[in-house]
Structure 1
Amino acid sequence: MTSSTPRRTVLAAALAAAAGTAAATTAPAAAADAAAPAADAGRRGHAPPAGLVDNRFWSTFTDWRCGAVAGTRAVPGLRPGLVLATPLGRIDHTDPHTGRTSPWEYATWTSPVHTPTVPATEAIASWNAHTPPGTWLQVELSGTYTDGTATPWYVLGRWASGDDDIRRTSVDDQTDGKSTVWTDTFAIDDAASGLRLLSYRLRLTLYRAPGSGLTPVVWRIGAMASDIPDRFTVPDSPPGPARELAVPRYSQNTHVGQYPEYDNGGEAWCSPTSSQMIVEYWGRRPSAEDLAWVNPSFADPQVCHAARFTYDHQYQGCGNWPFNAAYAAGYPGMNAVVTRLHSLAELETLVRAGIPVITSQSFRKEELTGAGYGTSGHLMTVIGFTPDGDVIANDPASPTNDAVRRVYLRHEWGNIWLRTKRYNASGKVVSGTGGVCYLYWPDRPSPVQRRALADLGVV
């Protein structure tokens, strides 16, 4: 996105201020707390370079069976998953965005306690799931601080594949005075104090219409936990071999003014536009039936589709990171996570393996030669590297689809992506994303692709 006040700008300002006083929302299934699962002894899924980023994702049949189940059941198969088997009870849920109150049956799954290799200042969850009409799900995180105290159960998303039953949403005003959830990101309020998130659990609550027998199915749930040091500059790394991937090109700016109910197209649609590019790179796309709702006069209706089905009704935008990953993973045989990379070298390894990467960055116009704009938060798709090591990106902030392919100087691009602090146009210190990215890949990656993903701890 290239809007003036995206999530990361709000997060930076908020972390500099005192924490608020609103309490976190808790799940209805308090019974899951009584059966807290054991520690995650297998330690599967860690990124090997310890010290900055830790990834842990549950996706195998064994993973699902190792969690604490309360009305849910693990389902084996080529793509093992979790389903709602026997409801624990019923609640009435009022959707804050529609005002509609409806009854729902529910059941839960709670992960084992996971202790990251790095005590964390931030954590971002991701999930891959499908919720047929009449169902939805909620994702929560609870953890222990390094001072021995516990967080509340924080809601990291209320999500559905469609938008008829509930409105897909993050939850504001969640804090305990030590940490806060900012849209999709758990963050320690005062990282300089030394306080960190030492361990955490994730909880899934699956909902369905009473008596329907329906169920969501969840194939993957997990989180990236990190402690990226404050840094205004990041040293360059030597370039690797050149490669460029044939990724479709879509401009967000050809959609200016389209669908105000999904944030009006244009600069607000960089995230879903990038997501759609990679979904199609992997050979998936919405059907003609899926796109029947789009105005037939609009070009590239699939971008409108991606915007609608990544839209966060609380954030009022399409830039919710896990919602984009969940959208991509909704296509047959697709997986998706939100994580951080340590370096351009890791990014090059993925691209050489045939995996394009969606990256999040912010910069002033003069900091990225050839961009022609500045942004306080924007997503683009890295599709390759030149023989000199410069970055080839499909940048959706381009006037036309043909203009989307850009080449950016390696040292400039790497710095604006990997830094955590920067000066904005007014000279004020604001945040950078510290290497945040989306990774999308198919169920059956090549051996080289699997190794590249395994080295990051996401498979």
Structure 2
Amino acid sequence: MTSSAPRRTVLAAALAAAAGAATPSAQADAARTPEASAAAATPEAAARRSKSLVNYHAWTTTADWNKGHAQGTGITHGARPGIRLVHPVGTLDYKDPHTGRTTSWEYAVWTSPAHSLKVPATEAVASWNAHTPPGTWIAVELRGTYSDGGRTPWYVMGRWTAGDGDADIRRTSVDGQKDGKSSISTDTFAIDAPASGLRLASYQLRVTLHRKPGTALTPTVWRLGAMASDLPDRFEVPASRPGQVGRELVVPHYSQEIHKGQYPEYDNGGEAWCSPTSSQMIIESWGRKPTRDQLSWVNPDYADPQVCHAARYTFDYQYEGCGNWPFNAAYAATYRDLQGVVTRLASLTDAERLIHAGIPVITSQSFLKTELDGAGYGTAGHLMTVVGFTKDGDIIANDPASPDDAAVRRVYRRRQFENIWLRTKRHDANGQVRSGSGGVCYLYFPAKPAPTQHRVLAELGIR
């Protein structure tokens, strides 16, 4: 049995370019509380972040939104501040490349201030949380400043809407974006030749909110952020020592494999649905799930129809797959009071702290069959969920690449899992150098996390 067949490059060509390697195989896939502020201000947390090669930064609060440049947007106040379309500043005729329809849309724009990186980056992945009623959508863009003083163009990081009805565009990434120094691979910005020393020194994010002309509809964006990183090439990572272990979270068990052949229009059916299956497990662990009406389109003979639903509503029509990282995080945030981010973690110790606080972790990894005992397969890119640690520090994972729901819970050896997840380089079955994810993960958590959850997230730079 194999995991989902990948279609896009893992973390773009930058990781391979640094070592002169061949192009890698593709992967398959709020208000801030006093507790969080205090945790973020502790010397230990500050020191950890100052040395980190990963920087996640987001705009989420009223103060954050006020710092940006608004063109026709206004702030929605309350427990979950956001921006919305108040006064359109123009009209756009957008020809949807996936339907062929040209439609007029009113729009408004919010642009962030520049975010400077303490450690200039080779890669960046944007993610967002938004409400997009039928007939609305958002476009998220990134523009960066290089370490040589030059600027990137405005790169489209995603055109997103939660729906796919007649009133909606088709959510999509955008291929072919490059300027000779950097490029976009589906959802990832990457410096083309990191060995040259060129880096991304700072970036801005811009979100354009669209709606049908003459209506009062509006998208609402609650979170807009990006993870930027500069990880060293490494086939092996240092071994960590077990810390906060011996806890397993209650998370549903869903297999992607039981959906083989179902809805092949969404990435050839369930065999490639590791990312949405993992997302759905974690969403439901927080007590959220689709309604009966939302699932009415699914064949009633299919088990776990919510997995089919997740695949449909994370599907990227350009990538032709369900493994777009930001689209999965955005899908999670369509559920009541949930947030979703894409970031990287530095170690299994960070994952242990999240599990101890009650937050599961969806991880991205690639490996040979011989590199992960008990998996029974090899993969060029696969998502699974870390839901706990044994008393010995081994990983308890809900692995969707399992023959049925009963087989989803797995225990994987700590050292093996740690290396296949955190490394940035690996060898495939033919001995060719390929890329690893470098600790990429999705984190889904409530809009109002518990104090312990606030603290751990803040220590990881997430607020």
| TM-score tier (shorter) | over 0.9
Q: Which residue of 2 aligns with 1:68?
A: 69
Letter in 2 for 1:161: A
RMSD, aligned CA: 1.8
Contact 1:251 1:400 in 2 (8 A): yes
Q: Which of 411, 415, 431 is residue 435 of structure 2 equivalent to? A: 431
Give the structure, 1 or 2, with the largest relative contact order (CA under 8 Å, sep 6 or more).
2
In the alignment, the residues of structure 1 paired with residue 203 and residue 110 of structure 2 have an alpha-carbon distance, to the nearest angstrom, of: 14
What pairs with 1:370-449 in structure 2 (closer than 5 Å)?
370-449=374-453
In the alignment, the residues of structure 2 paired with residue 352 and residue 386 of structure 1 have an alpha-carbon distance, to the nearest angstrom, of: 12
Letter in 1 for 2:51: A
Q: Secondary structure at the match of 1:262?
A: coil
Contact 1:122 1:187 in 2 (8 A): yes
Q: Secondary structure at the match of 1:141?
A: strand
Q: Which residue of 1 aligns with 2:347?
A: 343
Post-superposition Cα deviations, 1:237-256, rounded to whole Å, max 9, x if no partner, equal 11013111110000000000
Q: Which residue of 1 aligns with 2:158?
A: 157
In the alignment, the residues of structure 1 paired with residue 94 and residue 259 of structure 2 have an alpha-carbon distance, to the nearest angstrom, of: 35
Moved over 6 A (4+): 43-47
In the alignment, the residues of structure 1 paired with residue 235 and residue 124 of structure 2 have an alpha-carbon distance, to the nearest angstrom, of: 21
Residue 368 in structure 1 maps to residue 372 in structure 2: yes
Q: Which residue of 2 aligns with 1:174?
A: 177
Over the matched positions of the two proteins, sequence identity in percent amounts to: 66
Letter in 2 for 1:199: S
In the alignment, the residues of structure 1 paired with residue 260 and residue 14 of structure 2 have an alpha-carbon distance, to the nearest angstrom, of: 28
Residue 117 in structure 1 maps to residue 129 in structure 2: no
In the alignment, the residues of structure 2 paired with residue 14 and residue 293 of structure 1 have an alpha-carbon distance, to the nearest angstrom, of: 41
Deviation of 1:10 (Å): 8.0
Unaligned runs of at least 5 residues, structure 1 = 19-42
In the alignment, the residues of structure 2 paired with residue 282 and residue 269 of structure 1 have an alpha-carbon distance, to the nearest angstrom, of: 20
Q: Which residue of 1 aligns with 2:193?
A: 190
What pairs with 1:136-155 in structure 2 (closer than 5 Å)?
136-155=137-156
What pairs with 1:292-331 in structure 2 (closer than 5 Å)?
292-331=296-335
Q: Secondary structure at the match of 2:308?
A: helix
Contact 2:14 2:194 in 1 (8 A): no
- Range 2-11 or range 148-157, more displaced: 2-11
In the alignment, the residues of structure 2 paired with residue 4 and residue 14 of structure 1 have an alpha-carbon distance, to the nearest angstrom, of: 21
Contact 1:12 1:430 in 2 (8 A): no
Q: Secondary structure at the match of 2:83?
A: strand
Post-superposition Cα deviations, 1:134-186, rounded to whole Å, max 9, x if no partner, equal 11000000010001100000000000010121001000000001000000000
Q: Secondary structure at the match of 2:295?
A: coil
Q: Which residue of 2 aligns with 1:90?
A: 91
In the alignment, the residues of structure 1 paired with residue 312 and residue 192 of structure 2 have an alpha-carbon distance, to the nearest angstrom, of: 32
Contact 1:6 1:376 in 2 (8 A): no
Letter in 2 for 1:448: T
Deviation of 1:261 (Å): 1.0
Residue 265 in structure 1 maps to residue 266 in structure 2: no
Q: Which residue of 2 aligns with 1:81?
A: 82
Distance change >3 Å, CA 63–CA 314, structure 1 → 2: same
Q: Which residue of 1 aligns with 2:28?
A: none
Residue 243 in structure 1 maps to residue 244 in structure 2: no
Distance change >3 Å, CA 218–CA 13, structure 1 → 2: closer
Q: Which residue of 1 aligns with 2:103?
A: 102
Contact 2:69 2:110 in 1 (8 A): yes
Q: Which of 205, 210, 215 is residue 213 of structure 2 equivalent to? A: 210
Contact 1:110 1:201 in 2 (8 A): yes
In the alignment, the residues of structure 1 paired with residue 269 and residue 277 of structure 2 have an alpha-carbon distance, to the nearest angstrom, of: 10
Unaligned runs of at least 5 residues, structure 2 = 22-39
In the alignment, the residues of structure 1 paired with residue 344 and residue 420 of structure 2 have an alpha-carbon distance, to the nearest angstrom, of: 14
Q: TM-score, normalised by structure 1?
A: 0.92
In the alignment, the residues of structure 2 paired with residue 103 and residue 445 of structure 1 have an alpha-carbon distance, to the nearest angstrom, of: 39
In the alignment, the residues of structure 1 paired with residue 16 and residue 216 of structure 2 have an alpha-carbon distance, to the nearest angstrom, of: 44
Q: Which residue of 1 aligns with 2:60?
A: 59
In the alignment, the residues of structure 2 paired with residue 338 and residue 7 of structure 1 have an alpha-carbon distance, to the nearest angstrom, of: 17
Q: TM-score, normalised by structure 2?
A: 0.91
Post-superposition Cα deviations, 1:284-337, rounded to whole Å, max 9, x if no partner, equal 000001001111111000000000000000000000000000000110100010
Q: Secondary structure at the match of 2:91?
A: strand
Q: Secondary structure at the match of 1:77?
A: coil
Contact 2:116 2:203 in 1 (8 A): yes
Q: Secondary structure at the match of 2:106?
A: strand
In the alignment, the residues of structure 2 paired with residue 441 and residue 186 of structure 1 have an alpha-carbon distance, to the nearest angstrom, of: 25
Contact 1:253 1:265 in 2 (8 A): no
Distance change >3 Å, CA 426–CA 145, structure 1 → 2: same
In the alignment, the residues of structure 2 paired with residue 15 and residue 248 of structure 1 have an alpha-carbon distance, to the nearest angstrom, of: 36
Q: Which residue of 1 aligns with 2:356?
A: 352
Letter in 1 for 2:365: Q
Letter in 2 for 1:384: G
Letter in 1 for 2:171: R
Q: Which residue of 2 aligns with 1:33?
A: none
Letter in 2 for 1:62: A
Contact 2:326 2:341 in 1 (8 A): yes
